[in-house]
Structure 1
């Protein structure tokens, strides 16, 4: 398994060259890229909400050259979190399919075999309609699109993720496994959720989750994550997660998973470096043991 870091949180504070500087300082040479990490092509303005979530029009050539010069690989290319609802609002399922195809093209241009996406804001039934042609396109290009399970939409229950993956049944489609997101959806992340979706796992995210309690000290609250009617979502360093990180990594190894495991602490920008200093050596030790 290979260690990577998610570029989403870093994009709030750093340009892509600065992001690479940060990761190099921690000995990391693989990144998950989001549209926010990559600027537009010269002469192009990407200003609409939909353009902000998509990959079309971004300067992939310059980005690929930068990554190569810095010795970085791209673990995954992620479509924006709100891509599904904004695309459906503008053009229905076909618009979301085209956005997924654009992300596949970006992955190919950047040397990645993975595209990650979300069903946030739309029913999984509509997600499946858009995904089937996109998954076929991805398979033709040697890419897999993964659905990331989220805490508060229809991808929260692992049985729903397993069902949509079984229905699409394409080599170009699988699921991401994010145990923290399952934990925050009130599902046992391991072993229950893992075993439900294991045949379809193609990518892994890790972050340390807990139930946020304002009375606690030393707990960084990442965001309320649309859960105003539930316990607040809290985040702690990976070794302190409320679910068994070490057991999860051992099981992934046992089951032959050899892809990227990407860190993505959901904490305020000021806390990111503090978390990396704890989490990167910890996870590297687990992956290399």
Structure 2
């Protein structure tokens, strides 16, 4: 008889990778064993653009299904760094309001795009200024920002992510670990990033990719070191969220899509990784 793992993480997922309709998002996630959802959009509208009535309607749907929200997957910081500081500060305030309505503790953010031909080192001060402003809003709002390492932003490689964390030094700014995004910028995630970023790591996004061509694949089938990362997190005492963001059918600047079937493939692939590591989900 198999022994159940004594370590259990909280399974979540990006609902809009399943369907635009949050009712469908909830149903599929629950069928896969998740009791949490990461909200990026609903009814085809991004989370920061949902009005009060839509947020209230979404809250009713979630409560009715017994589904909770692991994070607000905002697009904050996925804009050019040349925009005024207040541009993203205002959008973060809307995301913070959504987090309050939906009872979410976390808001995902990014560390800014920059123009073609612009040296990444030249934007550091502007990025830090903006990240400090965002962290201040988070501190005032009682939420925690999760910086995602996205390709083509300042914080795309481990050293620059670490620079942001250490320089801003806010308890309201932490790391969301996305192995696929590291792979897509030529980084071997575990060997080159895990040790330095683990002290700041708060949230696991489940996505894998191949170094050879950058194509996103199910967890454990690429070069994202998912198994080694899960094993190390387990050994470190990690007890947080694991959020599925498969990107198996399509990916674009503000998100991705998998559909119910491919999302199920992604969930089952990650379940195999967790089983090898002796980690369960709840």
Matched with 2:3 is none
Following TM superposition, the consecutive aligned residue runs of length 4 or more in structure 1 with deviations greater than 4 angstroms are none
Residue-pair matches, total: 253
Find 2:57's aligned residue among 42, 56, 62.
Answer: 62
* Alpha-carbon distance change, 232 to 246 in structure 1, aligned in 2, over 3 angstroms: closer
Q: Distance in 2 between matches of 1:80 and 1:104?
A: 12
Helix, strand or coil at the partner of 1:2: strand
Residue 65 of structure 2 is aligned to residue 73 of structure 1: no
Q: CA shift at 1:277, angstroms?
A: 5.2
C-alpha displacement of 1:155: 1.4
1:159 and 1:192 map into 2 onto residues whose CA distance is 9
- Which of 105, 115, 127 does residue 107 from structure 2 map onto? 115
Moved more, 66-75 or 123-132: 123-132
Give the one of 3, 6, 9 matched to 2:14. Answer: 6
- Supply the distance in 2 between the matched residues of 1:266 and 1:241 (Cα, whole angstroms): 13
Cα RMSD (Å) of the superposition? 2.5
Partner of 1:233: 214
Structure 2 runs not aligned, ≥5 long: 1-8, 115-122, 250-257
The match for 1:48 is: none
| Matched residue, 1:266 | 247
Q: Do the aligned residues in 1 keep the contact of 2:12 with 2:243 (CA within 8 Å)? A: yes
Q: How has the CA–CA distance of structure 1 residues 55 and 254 changed in structure 2, closer, same or farther, with 3 Å as cutoff? A: farther
Q: For 1:67 and 1:88, how far apart are their aligned partners in 2?
A: 37
Q: Does 1:32 align with 2:38?
A: yes
Return the offset for 1:70.
Answer: 0.5
* Greater percentage in strand: 2
Matches for 1:6-155 after TM superposition, within 5 Å: 6-10=14-18, 13-34=19-40, 36-37=41-42, 52=46, 54-55=48-49, 57-58=51-52, 59-80=54-75, 83-85=78-80, 89=83, 92-122=84-114, 123-155=123-155
Task: Measure how far apart 1:7 and its partner are.
Answer: 2.2
Q: Output the CA distance in 2 between the equivalents of 1:194 and 1:180.
A: 13
Q: Is the 8 A contact 1:38 1:63 kept in 2?
A: no
User: Post-superposition shift, 1:2?
Assistant: 1.1
Distance change >3 Å, CA 71–CA 113, structure 1 → 2: same
The 1-side partners of 2:247 and 2:110 are apart by 17
For the 8 Å contact 1:26–1:280, the answer to whether it is kept is: no
Gaps of 5+ in 1: 41-51, 212-230
How far has the Cα of 1:168 moved from its partner? 0.7
Q: Deviations over 1:144-174 (max 9, x none)?
A: 1011001333212211110111111111111
CA contact 1:55–1:106 (8 Å) conserved in 2: no
Residue 288 of structure 1 is matched in structure 2 by: 280
Structure 2 Cα separation of the partners of residues 277 and 162 of structure 1: 29
Distance in 2 of aligned mates of 1:284 and 1:26:
14
